[in-house]
Chains A and B, each alone.
Chain A
Amino acid sequence: MTKTRERQGISALAAMFARAKAQGRAAFLPYFPIGYPTYDASLEAVKAMAALGADGFEVGIPFSDPIADGPTIQAATQIALENGTTVRKCLDAVKMLRDKGLTQPMLMMGYANPLVAYGTDRFVRDARAAGADGLIVPDLPPEEAAMFADSCAREDMALVFMLAPTSNDQRIDLVTQHVTGFIYVVSLTGITGARRELPAYLKDFIARLRAHTDKPLVLGFGISTAEHVREVSQLTDGFIVGSALVRAGGEGLEAVRELTGSMVEAIRN
């Protein structure tokens, strides 16, 4: 049974940020790759995180050559591919999650080539029909995004771009001008992966971005513990946890629940 969601697409994301803001915290968006450790287990992991209070999801589409990812996500998405996880199956996963009543916003996250192979217009249309609200393509800067921009605008899908500590004012303005939904703020100069500590410059970096843009800022890369989450919850509009949850996913559903629960608790208190 599909629950009709009150809001869909870009406005669903806006509502998510508004709700979190009203509660004096940032929105919590886990990343999880479809097909890891198995197809069914990845769906169970997303459902479990949703039940525990995650605000939205990045649903990962595996790619053979993920150049922005560290060892944890590389290994997990490799297993997902060995499990036969195709773009089509990732879209089916979103549909199934919606059918099971998942109401939180979902963004599809995948590298450009599999989406290009699927057909960019067709992908955006099918993703929206499956119940996705946005798209993140880590190897697609705004300069190259024309192939997705029109169909995302037509389908009311957020097209999220990234900013990094290396981004200069010119690039901040460019991304602000083209982005919809939110800006994915890469916390550090590097690839994905759990880190012991968050960078010391984070506050200044976020302040620099705020001076240029009023788009919601969602921080990702390296956020791994409840401690980190508590810190960033007062700093940004949202945050993404990837590798730490993926690692937990490899251990089992209970580990995912435990880490998610500790993070939800950290932002609510």
Chain B
Amino acid sequence: MADLYIRTDISELPDARGYFGEFGGRFVPETIMPALDELEQAYAEAIADPQFHQELCHLQRTYTGRPTPITYARRLSEALGGAQVYLKREDLAHTGAHKINNALGQGLLAKRMGKRRIIAETGAGQHGVGTATAMALLGLECHVYMGSVDIRRQQPNVFRMKLLGAEVIPVESGSRTLKDAINEAMRDWVTNVETTFYLLGSALGPHPYPMIVRDFQSVIGLEAREQIQDMTGQLPDVCIACVGGGSNAIGLFHAFRDDTATELIGVEAGGRGIESKEHAARFADLDISRPGILHGTRSFVMQDEDGQIMETHSVSAGLDYPSVGPEHAHLRQLERAYYTLATDEEALEAFQALSKLEGIIPALESAHAVAEAIKRAPTMPRDSVLLVNLSGRGDKDLDTVIGILGE
């Protein structure tokens, strides 16, 4: 495995203003503009420093358990009777999801910058757990904002964060989910910016966050691209990942972006179906989703006619967000990546199918990607290769699933 855990190709997007084409930018109150400049500068210095790479690389290997393997899903592939399905096992990373990749990277950056107070937002709790874990390891103070609706549906992760020494701060405003947790984290940052590092968990927010998060997650694709060739002798025909903010997807896609024969598919949360309007399919429902500005970045945003942000629905807390990372909006516009959706029902079916056929209980978020694989594989030849990013494990979702399917 190559010793490269972050992409450092500085010639590519975003541009100097933080734009991926017409998406991205930096729409924030003046108070935090200097902090974003400072972060951008510190990050540029860090990735130019071999010691930073070494330190991150060492932690990825000895703490996170990287590289995570790729598993050939033999029984699932046989049942689908088409493409051979491979799973990139981010669920096997320490803490059970890809979020730790970014949390450790930004945690090391915070330490370099001398910031000792760390704040984060979380939806499903995976980023909160990843951050709380990294902060316990690095000895930094950790506060996690989490919507009270999400606290209710992700109890095991709330307990985990507390056990790891983080303070979990319930957010009662708005829809009381991820969107509102980000609002509250940004308000905290505006207030405590001089002492505090905001450890944003997805490839969204003001520049340079979408770039930093992508880079720290690009390890997924860098590993997978090499592993899948070792295993199959070819590049995948299709890569599939779920897209909430889109960090696991961008982390997978990035290494394949020049492999134009490889189709990249992002799967959004279809919730109760597009017609129901209760979903988080920002790219699918263009009646209520269009380019707008939320949380410091210009991207597709689910909003009403008056530009007020809409509440979203998904069975998976991690996808329940009204906007999407700006680089995904750009990849979609370039037609380099294609975006589709899976409904709650389809995700739940995939959740069970993968459990029964492969002995792997996926996170409900990742189950959306599996659902697309289940639809797509039968339409593909048997000698084709379909790679699914299994971004997290499903233990955290058992209460939710029991609530829906019964015991």
Contact = CB atoms under 8 A, between A and B. Distances in A.
A167 interface: yes
Interface in A94-118: 111-118
A135 to B, nearest CB: 15
Interface stretch (B26-34, B240-248, B279-287, B363-371): B26-34
A138 B29 contact: yes
A162 interface: yes
Nearest to B30: A162
Nearest to A161: B30
B193 A189 contact: yes
B187 A67 contact: yes
Nearest to B179: A65
A44 interface: no
A117 B190 contact: no
Contacts of B27: 112, 139-141, 144
A91 to B, nearest CB: 12
B249 interface: no
A74 B190 contact: no
Interface residues of A, number: 41
Interface string A132-166: 00000011110110000000000000000111111
Contacts of A161: 30
Nearest to B304: A117
A28 interface: no
B307 A81 contact: no
Contacts of A115: 307
B292 interface: yes
A190 B190 contact: yes
B26 A141 contact: yes
A68 B309 contact: no
B32 A166 contact: yes
Contacts of B30: 141, 161-164, 166-167, 171, 175, 186
Contacts, number: 115
B34 to A, nearest CB: 5
B309 A65 contact: yes
A87 interface: yes
A116 B305 CA distance: 11
Interface string B166-198: 000000011000011001001100111110000
Main secondary structure of the interface of B (DSSP, over half): mixed
A166 B307 contact: no
Contacts of B308: 63-64, 81, 113-114
Contact of A189 (B17, B28, B179, B191): B191
B307 A114 contact: yes
B194 A166 contact: yes
B17 A114 contact: no
Nearest to A184: B30
Nearest to A118: B307
A72 interface: no
Contact of A166 (B35, B186, B187): B35
Interface in B21-55: 25-35
Given A116-B293, A189-B190, A139 B28 contact: yes
B307 A117 contact: yes
A86 B308 CA distance: 9
Contacts of B34: 166-168, 171
A207 interface: no
Q: Which of B27, B30, B193 has the most CB of A within 10 A?
A: B30
Q: Which of A64, A87, A111, A138 has the most CB of B within 10 A?
A: A64
A15 interface: no
A74 B31 contact: no
Nearest to B28: A139
B31 A113 contact: no
Contacts of A78: 173
9 contacts: A67-B28, A70-B187, A117-B292, A139-B27, A141-B26, A144-B25, A189-B31, A189-B194, A190-B190
Interface of B: 17, 25-35, 173-174, 179-180, 183, 186-187, 190-194, 292-296, 301, 303, 305-309
Interface of A: 63-68, 70, 74, 78, 81, 86-88, 111-118, 138-141, 143-144, 161-168, 171, 175, 186, 189-191
User: 5 nearest interchain CB pairs?
Assistant: A117-B307, A114-B307, A164-B31, A190-B191, A162-B30
